[in-house]
Amino acid sequence: MASIGFCSLATELSAPEVIDARGLKCPLPVLKAEKRLAALPPGKSLIVLATDDMARIDIPLHCRQNGYACVLERDADVLRFTITKPAP
């Protein structure tokens, strides 16, 4: 039983943090991402969910300007950005 709990904990610790910015208008999604990315350890990922189409421009631009990898996926009206902070 203890090993199952350990595996579960390890999975939770390695899962990317999610910012749910659905319904927020830009620049709020990018500002929330910027604040969390500043504290995110190198090599870790952050997922941002947004519905404002301007986020499609603002978040990738912020990532390019700061050297973060950004992958955009769309599911119906929800934009899902997976942002990875580079390892040193």
Catalytic residues: 26
- Name the nearest CA neighbour of 62 among 81, 40, 88: 81
- Answer whether 24's CB lies under 8 Å from 50's CB: yes
The C-alpha atoms of residue 69 and residue 21 are separated, in whole angstroms, by 19
- Answer whether 29's CB lies under 8 Å from 37's CB: no
Q: Which residues pair with 74 in a beta bridge?
A: 79
